[in-house]
């Protein structure tokens, strides 16, 4: 069965979120903390909007703008399993990562907590799992790919990668496991 227009819209938004997510992880591991924070905020906001597009046909991303609290409230009301979702407030509150990461202010340096990468990974996974539908997405292709810069960006120091792979397993092609058997000499 071909995907519905809502499912296609979700994947388009999820693909954009995945690009920002991979960028945030890459920038963070290179010590570029302010740009990593900005990309993390964009990744999570875009995936939150994608999830709302999937669960609420009346949701309009442009109207929602960058208002996280109402979007999180709407998500908890519309998505049956979203009640327990927890995105650390520092990733979105006060538009700190959205604005302060880009615009120098009157305050001192820009601080990213040591838990940043783990918090980002956990929040991305928590939002992703709220949509029981994935197909032909950037994330699927990255998970299926042989070692590449994008795959390393996703897996390096990612404490949620096992849960992510388990969740995505139904949409991954079986041929990727066949490659493992061929390369190990199994017949």
Q: Residues 68-106: pLDDT tens digits? A: 888 999 999 999 889 888 899 888 876 666 656 566 665
DSSP secondary structure string for all residues of 99-130: IITTS--SS------TTHHHHHHHHHHHHHTT
- Was domain 5-101+109-183 assigned CATH 1.20.950? no
**What's this model's pTM, rounded to 2 decimal places?**
0.86
The torsion angle over the Cα atoms of residues 167, 170, 172 and 175, rounded to 10 degrees, is 140
Query: How many CA atoms within 13 Å lie on the side-chain side of 100?
Result: 18
Q: 23-62 burial string, b = 16+ CB within 10 Å, else e?
A: bbbbbbeeeebbbbbbbbbbbbbbbbbbbbbbbeeebebe
Instruction: Tell me what the pLDDT averaged over the chain comes to.
Output: 86
């Amino acid at each position: 069965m071909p995907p519905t227009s809502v499912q296609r819209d979700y994947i388009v938004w999820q693909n954009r979120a995945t690009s920002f997510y991979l960028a945030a992880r890459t920038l963070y591991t290179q010590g570029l903390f302010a740009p990593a924070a900005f990309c993390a905020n964009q990744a999570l906001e875009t995936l939150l909007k994608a999830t709302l597009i999937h669960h609420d046909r009346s949701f309009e991303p442009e109207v929602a703008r960058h208002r996280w609290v109402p979007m999180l409230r709407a998500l908890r009301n519309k998505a049956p399993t979203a009640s327990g979702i927890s995105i650390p407030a520092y990733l979105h509150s006060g538009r700190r990562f959205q604005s302060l990461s880009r615009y120098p202010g009157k305050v001192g340096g820009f601080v990213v907590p040591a838990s940043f990468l783990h918090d980002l990974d956990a929040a991305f996974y928590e939002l992703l799992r709220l949509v029981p539908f994935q197909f032909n997405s950037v994330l699927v292709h990255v998970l299926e790919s042989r070692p590449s810069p994008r795959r390393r960006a996703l897996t390096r120091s990612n404490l949620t990668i096992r849960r992510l792979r388990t969740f995505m397993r139904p949409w991954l092609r079986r041929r990727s496991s066949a490659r493992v058997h061929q390369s190990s000499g199994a017949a």
